[in-house]
Amino acid sequence: MAEEVIRLKKKKGSTLKDEIAKILPEGGNLNLCLTCGMCSSGCPATGLHDMDPRKFLRMAALGMDEELKKHPWSWMCTMCMRCIYVCPMQINIPQLVFNIRGQWPREERPKGILGSCDMALRNDTCSAMGTTEEDFQFVVEDVLEEVRETQPGWEELEAPINKHGAYFFLNQNSREPVTEPDEMVPLWKIMHLAGADWTYGTKGWAAENYCMFMADNDAWKHILEVKVKAVEDLGCKVWLNTE
């Protein structure tokens, strides 16, 4: 079976890996790879675009900076951190991937992630679906009314919105209110049976943050700040993010 051969060009040593190592705690252990392959064995993205975490890291170590900056596998990584947990040297490959994503021109990053990030920036709901505060509240109240009327035993079910002083501030994946509103109900029932004091907020209720996955640090920070302010404005003690 033929094997792919990686050909190294004659050039100066890598700066990309070194620069990334400088901003990671303890350098992210990027220089400690034993090439054991444990990272690749459990990685859900192994094999996609003929790449895996070990190969990705070795390319960085060998100074293949330009190749890494253009390789689509940067966007295949799920940031699940599984590779770190199984790595005997605790090498932070996801942070290497994350910072390489940040090297891509913004307009060249995957359209789905880019579009979802930009949509979330449009209003204070932080919804990647672009759902407004009014639309979210309408859907929640409409679904709650239907459950109370059609499901015996759940006449007292609550789905509070903007309840000041609630203990838990609950986030919701923004796809559910738009495409699968009934999928919100099981979580309401769990909170009800647990006797939890909780609330949604019309601001900052969306759980996802595609700006993080896109490695747009400024946008990621903005989304977090909006959500934190929403929690603090309602005086909640605990922020429950379902994502």
Look up tokens 């977090």; give the residue.
224
Domain match, 192 and 122 both: yes
How high is the pLDDT of residue 7? 59
Residue 101 predicted with pLDDT over 80 = yes
Residue 70 predicted with pLDDT over 80 = yes
Assigned domain for 10 exists = no
How distant is the alpha carbon of residue 114 from its chain centre? 13
Residue 1 predicted with pLDDT over 60 = no
d(CA 175, CA 188): 16
pLDDT tier at 125 (50, 70, 90 boundaries)? very high
Residue 135 sits in which domain range?
111-240
Residue 112, helix vs strand vs coil: helix
Domain match, 88 and 117 both: no
d(CA 108, CA 156): 50
How high is the pLDDT of residue 4? 58
Assigned domain for 6 exists = no
How high is the pLDDT of residue 117? 96
Domain match, 88 and 132 both: no
Which spans in 37-127 are helix H? 38-41, 53-61, 65-70, 82-86, 93-101, 111-120
Domain match, 174 and 78 both: no
Domain match, 96 and 145 both: no
Give the whole-number percent of the chain exceeding pLDDT 90: 79
Q: Greatest CA separation found in the chain?
A: 73
Angle 110-111-113 from CA coordinates, rounded to 5°: 70
User: Do residues 107 and 81 make contact, with C-beta atoms less than 8 angstroms apart?
Assistant: no
Among 87, 104, 121, identify where a domain stops: 104
The stretch 98-125 carries a mean pLDDT of: 94
Domain match, 82 and 66 both: yes
pLDDT tens-digit series, residues 177-232: 999 999 999 999 999 999 999 999 999 999 999 999 999 999 999 999 999 999 99
What average pLDDT does the structure give for the chain? 92
Domain match, 92 and 62 both: yes
Assigned domain for 77 exists = yes
How many folded domains does the chain comprise? 2
pLDDT tens-digit series, residues 22-38: 888 888 888 899 999 99
Give the whole-number percent of the chain exceeding pLDDT 70: 94
Residue 3 predicted with pLDDT over 80 = no
Domain match, 116 and 93 both: no
Among 62, 82, 104, identify where a domain stops: 104
Domain match, 192 and 115 both: yes
Assigned domain for 134 exists = yes
Residue 34, helix vs strand vs coil: coil
Assigned domain for 227 exists = yes
Domain match, 80 and 173 both: no
Among 104, 131, 155, identify where a domain stops: 104
How high is the pLDDT of residue 242? 86
pLDDT tier at 150 (50, 70, 90 boundaries)? very high
Residue 89 predicted with pLDDT over 80 = yes
Residue 166 predicted with pLDDT over 90 = yes
How distant is the alpha carbon of residue 206 from its chain centre? 12
Assigned domain for 26 exists = yes
Domain match, 152 and 168 both: yes
Domain match, 36 and 153 both: no
